[in-house]
Amino acid sequence: MKFRRILAGISAVVMSISALSFSAVSNVTAYTADNVFDDLNQTQITEAMGPGWNLGNQLEASSNGVPSETAWGNPEITQQTFQMVKNAGFKNVRIPISYLSKIGAAPSYTIDATWLSRIRTVVKMALSEGLYVIINMHGDGYTTVSGSWLLCNASSDQQAAIKEKYAAVWEQIAQSLNDCDEHLIFESMNEEFDGTYTAPNRTYYNNINDYNQIFVDTVRKTGGNNAKRWLLIPGWNTDIEYTTGNYGFVMPTDKNRDDTIPSDEKRIMISVHYYNPWDFCGDGSWNKTTWGTDSEKQVLQDLFTKCYSSFVIKGYPVVVGEYGAVNKYNESSRITFVSEVCKAARSRGMIPVIWDNNGNNSGADAFGLFERWSYQVTQQGIINAIMSAFSGNPEPAPDIMTKDNALAVIYSTKNATELASGTADASMAGAVKVRCIFDCASDVSFNKYTYLNLSSTIAGTSSQASVRGKSYDTGVTNLTAVLNLTNTINQGDSYSISAYTVSWANASDYVFLIRSLEFLDSNENVIKTIDKSNK
C-alpha cells in the first residue's frame, strides 16, 4: 500500500482492556515443523492459497525509522488475530514487514535479534492456523519513509552497498525461517520505484531487476526448504501495465533451485497491486463513490488478462498482493468492486489478497474488514463477496492467442505475411468483405503509430486496408480490421490475403497475432471463417 497511516478510532481505555483480555493467548498454538515440504505445482499452489488478507500497518509500521508493530495505533498481534482471519474464510495472509533501523552496520548488516524473533513468532502463529503466509520487505524501499535505504533511484555509486545490504538481510530472513514448509512464501520487496508515477526510468528499473535477482539467488543458496519454496517478485511499483508491458521488467533466473523440481515447473510468482481507479479505491475526498460501469469492469478484465497472458500461461502465478476500496458508506459499490476483482483473478489463476490496515472509520485509509482489538468483523458484506467469488466453479479463463495457435504471426517488418490463399469454394461465394481478428503483443502499445496493413488479390483485383490503434494500452486482444473487396468473390476465384506492419521499436518479438479471417456477405453475415485449424 502507498505509505499511509491510520488514526485509531478506539479509545485508549478500550485498547488497554483489549490488551489485557487477549495478551494471554498471544502464543497459545505452537507451530511444529513436520519436516515435510509438499512440492506444489502452479495449479496446486494457486488453488491452495485462495483468497488472502493483508495484516497491514503492523510489522511494517515505523516511527522515525524504527519499526514497531504498534507504532501506527494497532494492537499487538496475537494468535487470535489469525484465528479471526481463518474463521472468516481467508486461506492466506500477507504480512508486510519493515527492517529499517533494525539492520546493523556494514559489513554484517545484522538484523536485531529481538525483531527477527518477533517476525518468526508472528509467522508461525499464522502457519499454525494452516494459513499460507507471504512476508516481504515493505517500507525499506519507500522514498518517503525515514531510514529507507532500498532505493532504486539512489546514485550508481551507492548501488553496490545497497545490493550488498539487501543480500545480507534476505540471507538472515531466509535462514531464520528455513524450517517452514511450503505454506511460507517470501516476497522480495513492495511497491519499489522512484516515487514518480510516469513511465519507468530504465536505469532505476534495472536496479529493481538486480534486486529481484539478488533475492532469488540469496534465498535459494540458503538451501533446505528455501531451495524449493515459491518466491514472489514485483515489477515497477507493482503496477500491472509497467510489469507486463515493455518498460524494463526482467524475469530473474532461478538456477540455484532444488534440482528435484521438474524442469518445466516454475517456482517464481509475480506480485501486482490493484487500486484502480484511485479516486474510488484510495482517495478519501468522496469525489468518486461508485464503481461498476461496463468500462470500469473492462479495464479490470483487460489488465488482469495482461497478467494472465504475460505470466500465468507461462507458468508464473500472479498474486494481487493488494487491492481494496476505502469505506465511503458505499458498501454496494465496494462489494461489486471486490467481487469483480476476485472473480477476474480466480478465472485467470491469480491470487487476490485484500488490503486491510484496521482503518474502521470512513474516508482515506478506511480499509478495515476486522477490528483487531475485539477480533470482530466490521465488513461482513465485503468478506461475503470475496468468499462468494471463490465458491462454485470459476468463470472461464480468457481466450488467449499464442504463436502456436495463431493463423499467422506478424513481425515488425514491411514484408507481407500470407494469411490465406487458394481457390474460393462455394462457402465463400458472395463475400464482399474480409474481417481480420487479431491481438496486439503485450509489449506493444496499440496507438496511432501502430497499424496493421491488409491486402487482398481476388481474381487478379487488389484491395488494401489499414487499421491504426487508438489506445496506449498494451496487449489489446480481439481487435478487428475490415477489408472491403473491390469485387464480390465468386466460386472458383483465386484469392490471396496478406498482412504486414512497419517496424515497431518496442516489440521484443512479434507485433500482432492473427486469430482468424471472416468472409462477410453484403448483409454482414459471416459465411466463411479461416483460422489455424482450417487454413
Annotated active-site residue 322? The verdict is yes
Annotated active-site residue 265? The verdict is no
Catalytic residue among 69, 129, 192, 322: 322
| Residue in 416, 386, 376 with CA at minimum distance from that of residue 323 | 386
Sign of CA dihedral 105, 108, 109, 114: negative
495 and 423 in contact (C-beta within 8 Å)? yes
How far apart (Å, rounded) are the C-alpha atoms in residues 420 and 405? 15
> Residue 348 half-sphere exposure, CB side, CA atoms within 13 Å?
31
How far apart (Å, rounded) are the C-alpha atoms in residues 172 and 113? 10
- b/e burial code for range 25-35 (CB count within 10 A of at least 16 → b): ebeeeebeeee
Give, in order, the Cα–Cα distances in Å from 179 to each of 116, 188, 241, 422: 15, 19, 36, 64
Which residue has 474516508 as its cell numbers? 363
Q: Is omega for the bond preceding 51 within 30 degrees of 0, making it cis?
A: no
Give, in order, the Cα–Cα distances in Å from 422 to each of 32, 407, 487, 530: 69, 15, 17, 12
The kind and range of the H/E element at 350 are: strand 350-354
How far apart (Å, rounded) are the C-alpha atoms in residues 112 and 334? 40
Amino acid at 272: V
| Residue in 442, 354, 359, 408 with CA at minimum distance from that of residue 531 | 408
Residues with Cβ < 8 Å from 454, sequence gap 6 or more? 434, 436, 464, 465, 466, 467, 481, 483, 497, 498, 499
How far apart (Å, rounded) are the C-alpha atoms in residues 3 and 489? 63
Sign of CA dihedral 379, 2, 11, 15: positive
What does the angle CA 271 – CA 272 – CA 275 come to, to the nearest 5 degrees?
150
Catalytic residue among 60, 69, 191, 340: 191
For residue 46, give the 3-state DSSP assignment: helix
Amino acid at 42: Q
The kind and range of the H/E element at 309 are: helix 294-310
Q: Which residues are tagged catalytic? A: 191, 322
